[in-house]
């Protein structure tokens, strides 16, 4: 059982939900709307995205999945921007739990997984003014009713969809509304780092694992022992603590077992 978000003071409604048949990127649209004065928590949803991006590069967003972005105005120091990703992942997880009863695990910093297979993820893109993140698009992608067999070969073996777990088709619009509400409630955690970290670690699947991060120009190895107040991954190696700040390094994180590399976490 993971940590559940309860925020009686959270937004009681979403200011506006804009629904599209097809977009290149819901994040791009949300950021344009934010630049034109859209309210915080405005939602953009597309049935299909043609130019999706993910934490590891491209993200495949066919019909049947939930492709949604929301606008946050966090006024957050850019050094703590990783908190946005953690809070977004928690909001998505809570929305899925509320709507389906399924409780995905979380992988640092932005993936939702079930039994090791990727269910979805979060991509945060923001506008920095000086040293602060003034506006951010919190983009989410969830495999819901889309057939996993139709995904590209390089991702399908490690992917899963909600309908396969629930053994039934999921109402996309209803799920999207619930996820949007949960994202709005999770927004406050950006400025409550102790609760943010406690909530994330309660569902964090990598804690205690021996991991290796090899990005070519830098290599980290150690036990994943925690996440700090700015959202960085903490690795311990023989008493030395390493802090991995860059969320883009998540794609290089691999669990190491007795027989060597066991593959990407």
Most confident of 82-96, 209-223, 235-249: 82-96
> pLDDT by residue (tens digit) across 54-65?
555 556 889 999
Query: Where exactly are the structural domains of the chain?
Result: 17-202, 210-264
Task: Give, as one character, the DSSP assignment of residue 78.
Answer: G
Strand order from edge to edge, sheet including 210-214? 240-244, 233-237, 219-227, 210-214, 253-257, 260-264
What is the predicted pLDDT for the residue at 239? 87
CATH, domain range 17-202: 3.30.930.10
Can you read off the two tokens belonging to residue 247?
Answer: 């969320």
Q: Give pLDDT tens digits for 29-38.
A: 999 999 999 9
Burial class (CB in 10 A: 0-12, 13-18, 19+), 238: exposed
Assess whether pLDDT exceeds 70 at residue 253. yes
> When comparing pLDDT for 264 and 21, which is higher?
21
Residues 185 and 12: beta-carbon distance below 8 Å: no
pTM here? 0.89
């Amino acid at each position: 059982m993971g940590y559940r978000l309860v925020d009686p003071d959270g937004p009681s409604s979403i200011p506006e939900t804009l629904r599209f048949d097809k977009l290149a990127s819901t994040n791009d649209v949300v950021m344009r709307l934010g630049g034109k004065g859209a309210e915080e928590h405005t939602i953009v949803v597309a049935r299909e995205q043609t130019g999706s991006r993910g934490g590891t590069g491209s993200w495949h967003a066919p019909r049947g999945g939930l492709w949604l972005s929301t606008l946050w105005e966090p006024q957050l120091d850019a050094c703590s921007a990783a908190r946005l990703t953690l809070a977004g992942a928690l909001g998505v997880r809570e929305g899925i739990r509320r709507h389906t009863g399924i409780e995905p695990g979380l992988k640092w910093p932005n993936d939702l997984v079930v039994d090791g297979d990727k269910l979805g993820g979060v991509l945060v893109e923001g506008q920095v003014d000086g040293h602060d993140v003034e506006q951010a698009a919190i983009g989410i992608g969830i495999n819901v009713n889309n057939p996993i067999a139709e995904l590209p070969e390089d991702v399908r073996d490690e992917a899963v969809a909600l309908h396969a777990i629930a053994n039934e088709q999921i109402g996309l619009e209803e799920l999207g509304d619930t996820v949007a509400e949960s994202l709005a409630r999770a927004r406050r955690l950006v400025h409550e780092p102790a609760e943010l970290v406690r909530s994330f670690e309660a569902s964090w699947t990598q804690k205690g694992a021996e991991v290796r991060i090899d990005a070519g120009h830098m290599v980290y190895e150690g036990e994943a022992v925690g996440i700090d107040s700015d959202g960085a991954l903490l690795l311990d190696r023989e008493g030395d603590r390493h802090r991995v700040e860059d969320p883009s390094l998540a794609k290089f994180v691999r669990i190491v077992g007795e027989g060597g590399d066991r593959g990407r976490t």
